[in-house]
Every structure is written in structure tokens, then in C-alpha cells.
Amino acid sequence: MSSTETRADLIVVGAGPAGASAALAAHRAGLAVVLIDEAGRPGGQVWRAPAAGVAIPEALRTQDDRDGAELRAAVAASGLRFVGDARVWSVTGRFRVDAATEAGTEAFVAPRLVAATGAHERVVPFPGWTLPGVIGLAAATVLLKSEAMLPGRRTVVAGCGPLLAAVAAKIVAGGGTVSGLVDLAGPADWLAVAPRLARRPRLLRQGLGWMIRIGLARVPVHFRHAVVAAEGGEAVEQVVIAPVDAEGAPVAGTRHRIAADALAVGHGLLAGAEIPRLLRASLRFEAEAGGWIPVLDTAGRTSIAGLYAAGDGAGIAGAAGALLSGRLAGLAAARDAGALAEGAFAAARDRILAERHAVEAFAGAVRRLMRPRRGLVDAIAPETVVCRCEDVTRAEIDAAVMAGAREVNQLKHFTRCGMGPCQGRFCGDTAAELVARHVGSREAAGVWTARPPLRPVPLDTLLGDFDYADIPVPKPAPL
């Protein structure tokens, strides 16, 4: 009853800029490549394709959409095998990837694997963050890009980093109202990173374009402010904001209440390193790069032979960085498979590393703007829910630490924090920060042990049709 098994030279999980370029590079070098993604078409989050049947109005189209279309065309023309709408639920060693699709389950086996699973967003909890109408900044971009849909009629856009302006500008362009843009950073923070942002003139122009659009729409901008509560009955009705210090801690000053029916909020990005974690590759903690990331050599090799990591899942670096790290990992896989001579590989590697160096200053500036702010976490009120799958509050996390939980997996056992369907993707960073406050460091607080499935998967899809006689029940236990 084994699933259908497809063999390849290389499996790439994730078809964003990193994964798609890894797959293309390896395929061009002669490897048989399978590229797998949750979405129906390549593009990932930044270059996300519109949903089937959704026409994105010209006014909403951006350079990202054009880059995404180009990537999709390149994958389609290449002849490599793309498996879309596939939920990867198991990844095991040397390497077998099991994916659930509408058609059932399929297993892919290859001696090499590139993990390019991107990032997910960090939302530091505040009272009301679980109300309907509150969504992540990245979730808002998905709605806008993929569905051409506004988060609400009057949306507050809050948090940090360039996504703020991107989301606000897209809402305005789509005919919505942004009732407030609430930025943890102040003008001085933006000025401090401006020279590094200027290293990528096209992206800087794009950002300025967003700002102009926001300015023309007379969106009220609140620098050095944070959302301290979302309030409402059935759904969000108003958003409370307060001035904060550089670390995001609320300070004395006027609290504003902004009427809104949606709040798009995000406090930076977390590297999605689930596959390296699942396969027990060496990890290291780097707060600005998105938390726990795999230890890599210059070409993207992890500590596990044959396992590579690229893109934001290997450390937040944005689409340009992802494209380059993906290409490099794909070439390294081809090199390690013997399809590419060392000389050709080394030359290509050096060119890519030089290009990556050029985009690194910009990426570093963006990381700086999206960095985690200690004060935000410290300000979480005791009764605020941190783990929304299991309704675990900050007070319960603190109490578990007082009861002896020294690291996050013990915390999980004491409180069920991180035991819900998201497996700690939403609460993990905050919970670990809270534990770290008591045990000294994030390294000491540890990291959730990764468990399959990578995303919840319907049993119906996994199990398919079967006869009882086909279940290979092992021999009975001793009496």
C-alpha cells in the first residue's frame, strides 16, 4: 500500500524565488528535478500568482507580479517536474518527501533535497489580536495579490518594515481606506537605513511610490507607535495605539483609538526552517535573520549530507537574496551529484556570492527595520492569549516557567502551548522569548522539536480508499 513513488536526482520543496531558481539551476545542469509547492503555481509569497479566475486590475499590478510571471514562464518552459497544490506532510532522511494532493498521496525520493519553504510572519500578541478582522501583514498581501481583495473597508496597517507601506499602498490602489499606518520605527530609523536602501534603486523607487500613494490618500501615519489593543464585539471595531520607545515598549503619551473594521499587523518575519529542523540539521539562533536558521556553508549546504537550504527559510534576505541563494543551492546540488565540474561550479558560485553581497546591504536594512523588539514582548499583558490554537495566556506561560519549565518543549507539556494545528508557528517565537527572559537566552530556551505533518492535512486525503485486508498490520504483540 505504499504511495506512488517517484524517483529524482533532486527534490525542491517550495517554489518561491529560492526554490524555483534552485530547481531551474539544477535542471539546467542536467539533474532530474521535482519542484513541489502548496500553491498551484510557482511564485511563493512575494511573487504569488493570482488565484485561478481572478483578474488583477492593472492598477494593482507591480514589478513583483511581472517577476513572478517571468519565473512561472521559466519553470513552465524548462521541462522540470512541477507538482503544485501539494501539501508536503512528511520529509524523512535521504530523502523521501510525502505530499498529499487532491488526487491522493505521492512520495518522491531523491538523494538530494533543497528546503526553500520561505518565511512566516511574527505577530507579537496584544489584547484583541485573535478577533476576526485582525490579520497578518503578509496575509493581507496574499489577499491583495492573489484574490484582489481588501482586508476591510477601513483598515489599520500596523507593525514594522517595508510590508507596511506595500500593504497600505495596495489597499489604497484597490480603492480601500487606510485609517491609520502605525509604524514601530520613527523617521530617524528610516533615515538611518536609507543609504543602504538606496543600494537597490528600483526597490527604493518602489517604496517611494508606495509612500507617495499613501501621502496622496492622506493616510494618517503614526511613527514610533504600536497597536496596544484591538477592540470590538464580534469583530474588530477599533484599534488602540500608543507611542513606543525604540524597543517597542509603550511610553507615556496619548493613546489614540482608530475606528476600523480590519487590522493588518506584522512584526517582522520568521524563517520557516521546519525541514532542516525535522531532519535534525544543525541550527543557530539569529534574531534579525528570523530566529532559528540552519547552519550553512557558502553554497547553502546544511550539516546533513545532501540537504540544502535557501531563501527566507534559511535566513530572511528578501526575494533578490532568495533568488541568488536558491540558484547557488541548485548548482551546489548539481555539483555534488557530479553533474557540474568543480571549476564551473566555483566560478558560478563566486559570481553569485558577489551579486549576493551587493543585495545584502539592502536586505540588512530591511532586516533591521523588521527586527524583533524586546519591549513589545515585555509589554504583553498577563491575560493576553499567546498561543491562539490552545488559548494559552502569557500568565500561564510565566506560571509554567515558575513551575519548573526550563525550555520550550517542557513548556509545551506544561501548558499545551504550541500543541495546536499550527504547531507553534504563531506562538513559538513569543513563547520562547518569554521563556528566555527567565533562563537567560534563546539558545537556553531551545526550539520546538519539529513534528510531521508540516501543515495539518486531512486524513481523508492521506488515507485514500483502502480495503481492510490491505492494511499491513504488523504481527500481534506478545500476550
How far, in Å, CA of 389 to CA of 393, rounded?
Answer: 11
**Binding span for other proteins by CB under 8 A among 128-136, 310-318, 378-386, 457-465:** 457-465
Cβ proximity to other proteins: between 63 and 92 the closer is: 92
Classify residue 314 by its DSSP letter: G
Return d(Cα 98, Cα 457) in angstroms, integer.
12
Where helices occur in 217-287 by DSSP H, the ranges are 274-278
Query: With respect to other proteins, which residue has the nearer C-beta, 336 or 396?
Result: 396
The smaller minimum CB distance to other proteins, of residues 256 and 406, is found at: 406
How far is the C-alpha of 1 from the C-alpha of 311, rounded, in Å?
35
Report how many residues bind other proteins under the rule CB under 8 A: 50
One symbol per residue from 247 to 286: x for binding other proteins (CB under 8 A), - otherwise; what is it? ---------------------------------x------
Burial 240-274 (b: 16+ CB within 10 A, else e): bbbbbeeebbbeeeeebebebbbbbbbbbbbbbbb
* 460 makes contact with other proteins (CB under 8 A): yes
**Whether the Cβ atoms of residue 37 and residue 59 lie closer than 8 Å to each other:** no
| Nearest CB to other proteins, comparing residues 135 and 454 | 454
Closest distance of CB 452 from other proteins, Å? 5
Binding mask 57-96 for other proteins (x = CB under 8 A): --------------------------------xx-xx--x
452: contact with other proteins by CB under 8 A = yes
List the Cα angle 23/25/27 in 5-degree steps.
65
Q: Which range touches other proteins (CB under 8 A), out of 179-187, 219-227, 312-320, 405-413?
A: 405-413
Residue type, position 161, single letter: G
- CA-nearest of 271, 360, 349 to 320 is 360
* 254 vs 466 by CB, closer to other proteins: 466
Residue 66 phi, psi dihedral angles, 5° rounding: -70, -40
Question: 342 or 460: whose CB is closer to other proteins?
Answer: 460
> What is the C-alpha separation between 104 and 285, in angstroms, rounded?
37
Using rule CB under 8 A, residue 388 touches other proteins: no
Q: Residue 402 interacts with other proteins (CB under 8 A)?
A: no
Q: Where are the strands (E) in 289-420, listed by range?
A: 291-294, 307-309, 385-387, 392-393
Q: At what angle do helices 17-28 and 318-336 cross, to 10 degrees?
A: 30
Radius of gyration of the chain (CA): 23
Tell which positions 3-62 bind other proteins, by CB under 8 A: 3
- Of 253 and 421, which CB lies nearer to other proteins in the complex structure? 421
Residue 53 vs 458, nearer CB to other proteins: 458
**Member of 7, 205, 257, 451 binding other proteins (CB under 8 A):** 451
The CA distance from 299 to 216, in Å, is 45
Q: Does 440 bind other proteins (CB under 8 A)?
A: no
Determine contact, residues 281/294, Cβ cutoff 8 Å. yes
For other proteins, the binding residue among 254, 404, 428, 436 (CB under 8 A) is 404
Q: Which residues bind other proteins (CB under 8 A)?
A: 1-3, 89-90, 92-93, 96, 98, 105, 107, 280, 400, 403-407, 409-410, 412-414, 416, 419-421, 423, 449, 451-453, 456-460, 462-463, 466, 468, 471-479
